[in-house]
Chains A and B, each alone.
Chain A
Amino acid sequence: MSTVALQTHGLSKSFAVKRKAAGLSGSLRSLWHPQWEEKVAVKRIDLKVDRGERVAFLGPNGAGKSTTIKMLTGILHPTSGEAEVLGLTPWRERTKLAFRIGAVFGQKSQLWYHLPPIDTFDLISRIYELKRSEYLARRADLIDRFELGPYLDIPVRKLSLGERMRCEIAVSFLHRPQLLFLDEPTIGLDVVVKQRIRELVLEANRVEGTTVFLTSHDAGDMEELCSRAVVIHHGGILLDAPVDRLKREVLSRKIISLTLSSSFEAGTLPDLPGTELMESEGRRLKLAVDLKQTGIESVVSALIGKFRLDDMTVEDPPMEEIITHIYGSGG
Chain B
Amino acid sequence: MIDRKMQSVLSLKSKKAGAVATITLRQQLAYKTDFIMRSTFLLLILFVFVQLWSSAYEGDRTRIIDGYTLKQIIWYLVFTEAITMGVPSLCSLIENEVKNGDIAIRLIRPISYVGYHYAAYLAEAVFRFFIHLAVGSIIAWTFVGPPSFGWGWAGLFSLTLGAISIAFLLNMVVALCAFWVEETRGMEFVLHKLQFTVGGMLLPLDLMPEWLQRICSWLPFQAMLYFPARTAVNYGSASLLQQAAIQAGWIAVLAVCTVMMYRKGVAKLHVNGG
**Contact between B269 and A98, CB atoms less than 8 A apart:** no
Q: Given A75-B269, A77-B269, A129-B12, do A112 and B108 touch, yes or no (CB 8 Å)?
A: no
A107 at the interface (CB under 8 A from B): yes
**Contact between B104 and A115, CB atoms less than 8 A apart:** no
B5 at the interface (CB under 8 A from A): no
- Measured between beta carbons, the chain B residues less than 8 angstroms from A33 are none
A12 at the interface (CB under 8 A from B): no
Name the segment of A63-71, A136-144, A258-266, A298-306 touching the other chain. Answer: A63-71
Q: CA separation between A182 and B266, bound complex, in Å?
A: 22
* Per-residue interface assignment for chain B, residues 9 to 27, with 1 indicating a CB less than 8 Å from any chain A CB and 0 otherwise: 0001001101110110011
Q: CA separation between A174 and B151, bound complex, in Å?
A: 48
User: How far, in Å, is A310 (CB) from chain B's closest CB?
Assistant: 37
**Contact between B108 and A75, CB atoms less than 8 A apart:** yes
**Contact between A94 and B19, CB atoms less than 8 A apart:** no
**Contact between A108 and B105, CB atoms less than 8 A apart:** yes
- Measured between beta carbons, the chain A residues less than 8 angstroms from B18 are 126
Q: CA separation between A105 and B273, bound complex, in Å?
A: 11
**Contact between B111 and A127, CB atoms less than 8 A apart:** yes
Q: How large is the interface on A (under 10, 10 to 19, 20 to 34, 35 or more residues)?
A: 35 or more
Q: CA separation between A120 and B105, bound complex, in Å?
A: 13
**Contact between B16 and A115, CB atoms less than 8 A apart:** no
- Measured between beta carbons, the chain B residues less than 8 angstroms from A108 are 101-102, 104-105
**Contact between B274 and A65, CB atoms less than 8 A apart:** yes
**Contact between B102 and A94, CB atoms less than 8 A apart:** no
Q: How large is the interface on B (under 10, 10 to 19, 20 to 34, 35 or more residues)?
A: 20 to 34
- Measured between beta carbons, the chain A residues less than 8 angstroms from B110 are 95-96, 98-99, 127-129
- Measured between beta carbons, the chain B residues less than 8 angstroms from A36 are none
**Contact between A127 and B108, CB atoms less than 8 A apart:** no
Q: CA separation between A183 and B112, bound complex, in Å?
A: 23
**Contact between A115 and B109, CB atoms less than 8 A apart:** no
* Per-residue interface assignment for chain A, residues 110 to 126, with 1 indicating a CB less than 8 Å from any chain B CB and 0 otherwise: 10111100011011001
**Contact between B27 and A76, CB atoms less than 8 A apart:** no
User: How far, in Å, is A317 (CB) from chain B's closest CB?
Assistant: 22
Contact of A115 among B26, B108, B266 (CB under 8 A): B26
A327 at the interface (CB under 8 A from B): no
Q: Given A108-B104, A110-B105, do A119 and B23 touch, yes or no (CB 8 Å)?
A: yes
A-facing residues in B133-184 (Cβ within 8 Å): none
**Contact between A112 and B27, CB atoms less than 8 A apart:** yes
A74 at the interface (CB under 8 A from B): yes
Q: CA separation between A119 and B25, bound complex, in Å?
A: 12
Q: CA separation between A331 and B223, bound complex, in Å?
A: 65
B26 to chain A: closest residue by CB: A115
User: How far, in Å, is B172 (CB) from chain A's closest CB?
Assistant: 19
Q: Given A99-B110, A115-B30, do A122 and B19 touch, yes or no (CB 8 Å)?
A: yes
User: How far, in Å, is B170 (CB) from chain A's closest CB?
Assistant: 26
B65 at the interface (CB under 8 A from A): no
Contact of A126 among B15, B266, B274 (CB under 8 A): B15
* Per-residue interface assignment for chain B, residues 254 to 274, with 1 indicating a CB less than 8 Å from any chain A CB and 0 otherwise: 000000000000111111011
Q: Nearest 10 pairs between A and B by C-beta?
A: A66-B274, A126-B19, A114-B30, A98-B110, A75-B107, A103-B108, A77-B267, A95-B110, A123-B23, A110-B105
**Residue positions of A touching B, CB distance < 8 A:** 15, 65-67, 70, 73-77, 91, 94-96, 98-99, 101, 103, 105, 107-110, 112-115, 119-120, 122-123, 126-129, 155, 183
- Extra 11 A-B pairs, beta carbons < 8 Å, given A70-B274, A73-B108, A122-B19: A70-B104, A73-B107, A75-B107, A103-B104, A103-B108, A108-B105, A110-B105, A114-B31, A126-B18, A127-B109, A183-B274
| 19 pairs of residues in contact across A and B, judged by CB atoms under 8 Å | A65-B274, A66-B274, A70-B271, A73-B104, A73-B107, A73-B108, A74-B107, A74-B108, A75-B107, A77-B268, A98-B110, A108-B101, A110-B105, A112-B23, A114-B31, A115-B30, A122-B19, A123-B19, A129-B110
